[in-house]
A and B are shown apart, each in its own frame.
Chain A
Amino acid sequence: MVRGKAVVLNGFFLFAHNTFMRTILHSDLNNFYASVECLRNPEIRDKPVVVVGSKEDRHGIVLAKNMIAKNFGVKTGDVYWEAKQKCGNTLIEVPADFITYLNVSREVRAIYGDYTDRIEAYGIDECWLDVTNSVKAFGSGKKIAEEIRERIKSEIGLTVSIGVSWNKIFAKLGSDMKKPDAVTEITPDNYKQKVWTLPVEDLLYVGRATQKKLNRIGIKTIGQLAQTDEKVLTDLLGKWGSYIHTFANGRDESPVLTVNEEEAIKSIGNSLTVYRDLENDDDVEIVIWLLADSVASRMREAGLNKARTVQLYIRDSNLLGYQKQGKLLRPTNNMNDIARFAFKLFKEIYPWNEYVRGLGISVTDFITGNEQLDMFADLAKDEKQKRLDNAIDKLRAKYGNNIIQSAVVFKDPKLRDLDIKGEHVIHPYSFFKNNK
């Protein structure tokens, strides 16, 4: 968005910039996974559709849903049977096909690439685009947004909602305002009506805890937040108070980074709700090995570097959650290291008051660049392990994931048959990466 007077100079139109403003788009593919599945299979388009990890043995969770399922009250993160209860027998469940989603996402990105090279992926289905420098060539930010929306619809067959504004935060708010298949522009002239009237929790980085704190001092809308003295907010929330005050006033200046879909993957994880309650350490160990195996092989598949941190989630039979994370002594992409470490975490935190219903492992904090060599590392052993992992990956690519497994999982034949590598948990990078 360039605000200023157009002046004629030597026959050319030029803009006299009195204030320089960026033009930022935030594009959000509507119900991405479910929309791709409906595109692939149009017969299910008029029915409630959920995309799940796997529905057998009650461990599938809803990764995405279409509008119809949403109207039935299905939420992302519901367990499959919960969704089934809400929608009844008409519910269609589709296993997630992550490779296709990533391919579609790349194709959409190619369309964005015709307008700008400043594209920051936020997860697999959302992107910020900085089109400041293309506005002159294409007309206006809104025009570019409309063109992108039309093209994604006609070339890919998906709908997007796009927000246009002068900063990333308002652009994201704009894309959430009208869904699906719409463009919303937030300008310095209309943001007070459009943004300031929204509830404060709609602002990026105002979570439930922050919302409660703000509500307690009478801040219910983004407008009220913007007009509150910054000092009050920093006293209440620390440095976050100052950030969200900046956001609410449209003064966010964080740049649109060049981040692609693969880089936008912050952590890789697998979780599993088990077909029976786990009653002792041995049971838990089996599941941890299964999960670690799947996480490690997916890390290698995605070509990610070694990770430094392992997180463990536990859900007991009262659905109470436990969580612990720890830093590994040495970064790894190996199943043994991940499993041993996760089991250690489990023993540290779980009190065994109840049986265990679900477990999840994720790795995060991937190293970038070259790994620093450890004085005590056994390089020969590492090399051997790498060759073993390669051989296992090749076997699995050829004969399926369950062709080779660690011995510990053979203690329970039913668990052994689970193929959990299909369940994907992907988290976008924090908004604050490199920004603040």
Chain B
Amino acid sequence: MNPPLFLFKNVNTKHMINYEKVYVAVYLKINTDGIMKPVAIEWKDGARYDIDKVIDERNAPPEHTGGVLTRKYRVIIKGREKIIYLDKQTNRWFVEKPLY
């Protein structure tokens, strides 16, 4: 029997996890200067998660899935750091969900 993968030091199991793109609904606040900020995301089942803070936003491609012209938002939701993406061409928002 092969030993479990994590026993090998140089095997990065992070790459072996597949990710799936999940589109979510997003509540946005547009301030008087016209600057847009996400305030909450809403999961498909209707569950709403408030965004406590946007740490950083920048143009960047998704880390694990495909996407062209996306904007990456690092946010804090319930005390944990999460990443959400905006597809600038379609105005759709998505998250990357690991498939275990």
Chain A residues in the interface with B (C-beta under 8 A): 36, 39-43, 100, 103-104, 107, 154-157
Contacts and interface: CB of A to CB of B under 8 A. Distances in A.
The B contact surface, by secondary structure, is loop
A40 B89 contact: no
Contact of A103 (B58, B60, B66, B69): B69
Contacts of A42: 65-66
A40 B66 contact: yes
A104 B69 contact: yes
Contacts, number: 31
A107 B59 CA distance: 10
B60 A39 contact: no
B60 A36 contact: no
Contacts of A155: 58-60
B69 A41 contact: no
A48 to B, nearest CB: 18
A40 B69 CA distance: 9
11 contacts: A39-B61, A39-B66, A40-B66, A40-B67, A42-B65, A107-B59, A155-B58, A155-B60, A156-B61, A157-B60, A157-B68
A34 to B, nearest CB: 13
Contact of B68 (A36, A43, A154): A36
Given A42-B66, A103-B89, 7 more contacts: A39-B68, A100-B68, A100-B69, A100-B89, A103-B69, A107-B59, A156-B69
Interface in B21-35: none
A155 B67 CA distance: 12
Contacts of A40: 66-68
Contacts of B59: 107, 155-156
A36 B89 CA distance: 14
Contacts of A41: 66
A261 to B, nearest CB: 15
Nearest 8 A/B pairs, CB to CB: A157-B61, A155-B59, A41-B66, A40-B66, A42-B66, A40-B68, A39-B68, A36-B68
B83 to A, nearest CB: 15
Interface string B43-71: 00000000000000011110001111100
A368 B69 CA distance: 32
B16 to A, nearest CB: 14
Nearest to A111: B59
B60 to A, nearest CB: 6
Contacts of B67: 39-40
A286 B15 CA distance: 53
A43 B19 CA distance: 11
Contacts of A107: 59, 69
Contacts of A100: 68-69, 89
A410 to B, nearest CB: 36
Nearest to B18: A43
